[in-house]
Amino acid sequence: MKSESMESHRKNVPSEIKCGVITLSDSKFEDYQKNKNSSTDLSGQLLVEKLETKYNLVNYSIIPDDSKMLLDTIEDMICTKNVDVIISTGGTGIGSRDITVETLEEIFEKELSGFGEIFRAESYKELGAGAILSRAIAGVYKNSIIIAMPGSPNAVKLGIDIIFNELGHLARHLKE
């Protein structure tokens, strides 16, 4: 059953949603530094291409798995470019260099736990118990939505499909 209030909110979304994309990957950052070409960043490019079909993409960055660089990039996107939504890919695993989740948890003012829950439930349908490795999360920081997805292209396709049509709805609630 559809919610009348949710459908009403979806109709009254902001006319422009500014988005930013951050890829966290030591190897992709190194490659980007050498070649000045983002073509090896398949996941970041998937996000960029999809977001540009409906939203205003104002920034795309490839950075290494580094907490300070992640925080600096987020601050720049929010404070300088006024983004409403930041989507990151990479750094959500359980390896020693995977710092995205811990870094974001420190700054989130509110967590949107439903994203991670839905992401893992949908991943489970495809991967089985391997979905427990996913630490996809989302939250609010300085009136912006931040969504962190794993780095694989399949994970990004799944994650963007989950949130794509809800970004306006989410951004609307931030303006209240």
**Sequence-ordered list of residues with C-beta below 8 angstroms from that of 12, at least 6 positions apart, any chain:** 172
Which residue segments constitute the domains of the chain, with CATH numbers given? 15-174 (3.40.980.10)
User: Higher-confidence residue: 37 or 18?
Assistant: 18
State the DSSP code for 15. Answer: S
Contact between 150 and 90 (Cβ < 8 Å): yes
153, 158, 137, 160: which is closest to 41 by C-alpha? 153
Biggest CA pair distance of the chain? 52
Residue type, 67: S
Contact between 170 and 140 (Cβ < 8 Å): no
pLDDT grade, residue 38 (50/70/90)?
Answer: confident
Rounded average pLDDT over 102-124: 97
Distance CA 4, CA 63 (A): 42
pLDDT grade, residue 145 (50/70/90)?
Answer: very high
pTM, full prediction: 0.92
